[in-house]
């Protein structure tokens, strides 16, 4: 069974037979899969009037444990995005009453970003359906193969460095 990536590889093999283009099979499919999954997740979260970047913040705060708060710097490290991106996300979520900024108890200059009651309720209502959606998206493979894939992807991420440059 061939796909669009096979067509790309065949075209390159025809045009540059001197270069073994086997990596395109992995990298090309990984990139395509990332785009498809991002689109699917965005479509799912839009039903809750959220986007994936907002959900990343909400889920990160929720899994941090009670009292469900982190500093913006901790969010930057966890989300692997710029501080400006985190600030924009926090501003949007704060305007919609999902999070609040709390001055630090030891140092008022340090702010904690905390889930509000509304934010906590929303995350808790969203999480199980989100996982069910991910199960649906992975339905093309059985659990053993998915566990193998997860292990292989972990190994590859560790080998190339698990931190994006942007």
Tokens at 106, concatenated? 């030891």
Our CA dihedral for 63, 112, 66, 136, rounded to 10 degrees, sits at -20
The CA–CA distances, whole Å, from 153 to 4, 19, 54, 158 equal 22, 25, 25, 9
Tokens at 20, concatenated? 């073994």
Residues 116/98, Cβ–Cβ less than 8 Å: yes
Output phi, psi for 103, to 5 deg.
-60, 140
Total-model pTM: 0.87
Beta bridge partners of 107: none
Task: Mark whether 105 and 161 lie in a shared domain.
Answer: yes
pLDDT for the residue numbered 104:
76
pLDDT for the residue numbered 29:
96
Q: What percent of the chain has pLDDT over 70?
A: 97
Task: Mark whether 40 and 57 lie in a shared domain.
Answer: no
Task: Mark whether 13 and 28 lie in a shared domain.
Answer: yes
Output the domain CATH number for residue 116: 1.10.10.10
Range of the domain at 15: 1-47
d(CA 15, CA 147): 37
pLDDT for the residue numbered 110:
86
Task: Mark whether 85 and 36 lie in a shared domain.
Answer: no
Any idea how long the chain is? 166
Low-confidence ranges of the chain (pLDDT < 50): none
pLDDT tens digit sequence for 53-75: 999 999 999 999 999 999 999 99
The CA–CA distances, whole Å, from 94 to 66, 116, 128, 152 equal 19, 9, 23, 38
Domain-ending residue, one of 31, 47, 63: 47
Task: Mark whether 67 and 86 lie in a shared domain.
Answer: yes
Task: Mark whether 82 and 3 lie in a shared domain.
Answer: no
Q: To the nearest whole number, what is the mean pLDDT of the chain?
A: 94
The radius of gyration computed from the CA coordinates of the chain, to the nearest angstrom, equals 20
pLDDT tens digit sequence for 102-125: 987 777 788 999 999 999 999 999
């Amino acid at each position: 069974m061939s796909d669009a990536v096979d067509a790309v590889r065949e075209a390159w093999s025809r045009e540059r037979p001197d270069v073994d283009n086997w990596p395109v099979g992995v990298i090309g499919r990984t990139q395509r899969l990332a785009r498809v999954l991002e689109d699917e997740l965005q479509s799912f979260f839009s039903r809750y009037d959220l986007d994936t970047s907002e959900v990343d913040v909400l889920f990160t705060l929720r899994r941090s444990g009670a009292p469900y708060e982190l500093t913006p710097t901790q969010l930057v490290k966890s989300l692997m995005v710029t501080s400006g991106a985190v600030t924009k996300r926090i501003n949007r979520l704060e305007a919609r009453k999902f999070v609040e900024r709390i001055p630090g108890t030891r140092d008022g200059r340090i702010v904690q970003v905390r889930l509000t009651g509304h934010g906590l309720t929303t995350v808790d209502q969203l999480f199980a359906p989100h996982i069910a959606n991910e199960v649906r998206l992975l339905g093309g493979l059985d659990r053993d193969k998915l566990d193998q894939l997860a292990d292989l992807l972990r190994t590859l991420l560790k080998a190339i460095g698990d931190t994006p440059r942007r």
